[in-house]
Amino acid sequence: MSTSSHPTPAGTSAANTERMLFPGDTGAFPLELRQALVRLLRGPYIDGTAEPALWTTILRHTVSLQQYLSEIFLLLSVDADRKIALLTPVPMDAAHTQPIVARKPLRREETLLALRLRVLLDRHAGSGTDVTVSRSMAREILAEHRQPGAVDDKRLDEQTDAALARLMGLKLILPTELAGEYRVSNALALALPFDSIEQIPAYLAALDKSAASDSFDLDSPDEATQEIL
């Protein structure tokens, strides 16, 4: 029986009629696959542990999803071990190929904290335990990278809270039952891709050398940062 009570448009096959989800629907994907696409586009990522049914759909239809996403200059990254899937823009030097929603660049402190947490994540890989970061630990990390001569503890506190809030907003760190303690998401490994974590200290050093700048454009190849989500 048809899923739509609307008349079949001229030239529409019976199979397409069965797949129609709304009047005028010309899509070919079933409902669950369209829902997966919406979730991927909404972002920032899919956590297969938290959403096993959605994760199964993505694994089953990876080829079809990528075929669709290629039309809008996006790549589907899937980490089967960490059970994380996310979209990344295709690096193309052509007009109208940028992401649909522009991403706000991370500030220096946000980048520093993300990089340090990325190292922790890799060091705990395969341990079966969650990587966590507390506010005090995040503050210590940023204190290590303070600009020379900086002694304003109030500003350091503000930068710490702002960096944690931004990474929380991107779901790169997640709240826990303990106040001021966060779980580092496995998505950080895909959001900050490196061939080896040994490359990260060089990025940190470059950020320290550029401490006079307040922010960094993650889309610029001239900056010592990586794109995040």
CATH of the domain at 44: 1.10.10
* Average pLDDT value for the chain: 80
Q: Is residue 99 part of a domain?
A: no
Q: Is residue 215 part of a domain?
A: no
In a shared domain, residues 70 and 118: no
Per-residue pLDDT tens over the stretch 103-155: 677 788 888 899 899 989 888 877 778 899 999 999 999 998 887 666 778 99
In whole angstroms, what is the distance from residue 155 CA to residue 5 CA?
62
In a shared domain, residues 159 and 124: yes
Q: Is residue 119 part of a domain?
A: yes
In a shared domain, residues 85 and 118: no
Please tell me what DSSP assigns to residue 127: S
Q: Is residue 5 part of a domain?
A: no
Number of domains in the chain: 2
- Asked if the model's pLDDT at residue 6 lies above 70, the reply is no
Q: Is residue 35 part of a domain?
A: yes
Residue with tokens 């529409």, as numbered in its chain = 12
Mean pLDDT of the region 184-203: 74
139: containing domain: 108-209
- With contact defined as beta carbons under 8 Å apart, do 131 and 82 qualify? no
In a shared domain, residues 128 and 199: yes
Residue with tokens 């048809």, as numbered in its chain = 2
In a shared domain, residues 57 and 135: no
Q: Distance of alpha carbon 45 from its chain centroid, rounded? A: 5
Reported pTM: 0.69
